[in-house]
């Protein structure tokens, strides 16, 4: 249940974090790829892990502008 709550991209915890950040004027970034299948924390199957890595690479490419914005914000004084 805790993992589900923490990884749910549209849950109440995310809504609260986004609202709090907006209220105090802090930029909010939620960067988490939606993987095609559930992956156990102790997964050892190389095919499953490589597929998850590939899906993550695709997500990064598709959201590259958001990543660049975050990088610029983190690097600015």
Structure tokens at 2: 């805790």
Q: CB neighbours (10 Å) of residue 48? A: 15
Do residues 13 and 41 share a domain?
Answer: no
- Which structural domain, as residue segments, surrounds residue 43? 31-77
Q: Tell me what pLDDT residue 7 has.
A: 64
Do residues 67 and 37 share a domain?
Answer: yes
Smallest CA-to-CA distance from 29 within 68, 61, 75, 76 is with 68
Q: Tell me what pLDDT residue 4 has.
A: 62
For residue range 37-70, list pLDDT tens digits in order. 989 989 999 999 999 999 999 999 999 999 999 9
For residue range 1-42, list pLDDT tens digits in order. 556 666 666 778 888 888 999 999 998 888 888 889 989 989
Question: Please, are residues 37 and 50 in contact by the beta-carbon 8 Å criterion?
Answer: no
Classify residue 17 by its DSSP letter: H
Task: Give, rounded to a whole angstrom, the gap between the first and last alpha carbons of the chain.
Answer: 39
């Amino acid at each position: 249940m805790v993992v589900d709550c923490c990884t749910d991209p549209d849950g109440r915890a995310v809504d609260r974090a986004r609202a709090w950040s907006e209220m105090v004027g802090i930029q909010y970034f939620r960067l988490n790829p939606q993987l095609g299948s559930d992956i156990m924390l102790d997964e050892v199957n190389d095919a499953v892990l490589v597929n998850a890595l590939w899906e993550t690479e695709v997500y990064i490419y598709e959201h590259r502008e958001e990543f660049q914005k975050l990088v610029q914000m983190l690097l600015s004084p």
